[in-house]
Every structure is written in structure tokens, then in C-alpha cells.
Chain A
Amino acid sequence: SYVVTQPPSVSVAPGQTARITCGANKIGSRSVHWYHQKPGQAPVLVVYDDSDRPSGIPERFSGSNSGNTATLIISRVEAGDEADYYCQVWDTSGDQYVFGTGTKVTVL
């Protein structure tokens, strides 16, 4: 099966930039989607197809994807960005989606 790994946690000061990675074999050849989930709430799509933003998502959220690593970038971090973040990738060999292990973002 396709294994997708994320760092368990990332800490960032307000106003700074947070980078959350999603690692997998040749992930750069696949489309990666990102979600955040706040406690007690359903997940929300924040970036799709590596770097596109759904309507209503601030421009502070962006993404990149190359080689074996995809990255979600949150610029000018705010307290409200504190959440769990998950990447999602389609496993073409298994015909199924795979979520990353999740990263807890803490705003200091």
C-alpha cells in the first residue's frame, strides 16, 4: 500500500510561516489535497491539486509538490490556524485514497 507520512507536530509563532510536509514515494507525480480539522469539527479542504484554493480559503494557504515531498505553507500564521492538518493522495495502484498521518499545528 502507498504510505504517506507527516511530522506529528509543527509549532510556529504568530505572523511567521508554517510548513507542513507530506512525504511519499514519487508524490510529486500525484495530486495532493490538504485539509485542516479543528477539535470537535469536521475537516475542511484548504488546498487541492497541490496548490489550488477552494473559495473562501485565505491566500495565506498555499502548497507545493515535487519529488518525494508535498508541502502546505501557511503564511502570516494566526491563532485560528491551530488545528490538525492532513494531506490526501490517490493511490493509483490500489485505486483508493490515502490520508497522511496528520500534523498538529500549534501557534505559540
Chain B
Amino acid sequence: EVQLLESGGGLIQPGGSLRLSCAASGFTFSGFAMTWVRQAPGKGLEWVSGISGSAAYTYYADPVKGRFTISRDNSKNTVYLQMNSLRPEDTAVYHCAKGIEEAATNPLGNWGQGTLVTVSS
């Protein structure tokens, strides 16, 4: 059974940094793309960033380019999202999701429950 467990969320002041982690199990981690999707309270889904299974390719949404960095450690079955220069509009539940294939341009077949990030002074 695929399991995705996010951690690292919390309350952070504007301009601060936070690193999210997503521990995966139940599948061959290096064979699948991983993605972060966020959802602000009461709002819709917003795609944030994706990384291919081999980590050769990374992609970012315009609002986070230059501030967020996605990475993965295939030896630890974990994907990360380093978030810098955080803004109040980054406040959201951040979901980790597994692609259905290796390329990050594929749809998302499994999702974690998410971790809440609150950016506020």
C-alpha cells in the first residue's frame, strides 16, 4: 500500500524559511515522480513543484520560482520542499503526491493528507 507522510509544517514569520519532508513507502520510490500541491484554507488546489524519479528534472509554479526548491533522496524514500522568503500568501496545507510514472509531467495517483504551513507575524 502506498503511504505518503508529510512533516515539517508550522507557524513561521514572513521572510522565514521552512523545509517540508514527505516520507514514502509501499512502492519503488526512484521509479516515480513526486509533486507538492498546496491548498489555502477554503480555496482550491494549487500545483507547486514536481521532480522526476531520477531527480534529473524539476519544475516550479510561477509564484514560487526562485524561492522554493524541490529535491529528493532516493536512498531515504523522501522528497523535500525547501521554502525560503515565505509570504502570507504561502499559507496552505501542503500535500505530497506521487506521480503515476517517472516523469513529473504525469498525473498524481496517490496523495498524502498534507501538512499545514502558516505564514504570519
Contact = CB atoms under 8 A, between A and B. Distances in A.
A86 B45 contact: yes
B105 A90 contact: yes
B105 A101 contact: no
Q: Is the interface of B mostly helix, strand, loop or mixed?
A: strand
A23 interface: no
Contact of A42 (B46, B100, B105, B114): B114
B106 to A, nearest CB: 8
What is the interface residue range for chain A against chain B? 20 to 34
Q: How would you classify the secondary structure of chain A's contact residues: helix, strand, loop or mixed?
A: strand
A81 interface: no
A43 interface: yes
Contacts of B105: 90, 97
Interface residues of B, number: 22
A79 to B, nearest CB: 23
A54 B101 CA distance: 13
Contacts of A42: 95, 111-114
Contacts of B27: none
Given A94-B62, A96-B62, A43 B111 contact: yes
Nearest to A33: B107
A107 B24 CA distance: 35
A43 B112 CA distance: 9
Among B50, B100, B107, B109: residue with most chain A CB under 10 A: B107
Contacts of B111: 42-44
A78 interface: no
Interface of A: 1, 33, 35, 37, 42-45, 48-49, 54, 84, 86, 88, 90, 94-102
13 contacts: A33-B107, A54-B100, A84-B44, A88-B47, A88-B108, A94-B62, A96-B59, A96-B61, A96-B62, A97-B61, A99-B44, A99-B46, A100-B44
Interface of B: 35, 37, 44-47, 50, 59-62, 95, 97, 100, 105, 107-109, 111-114
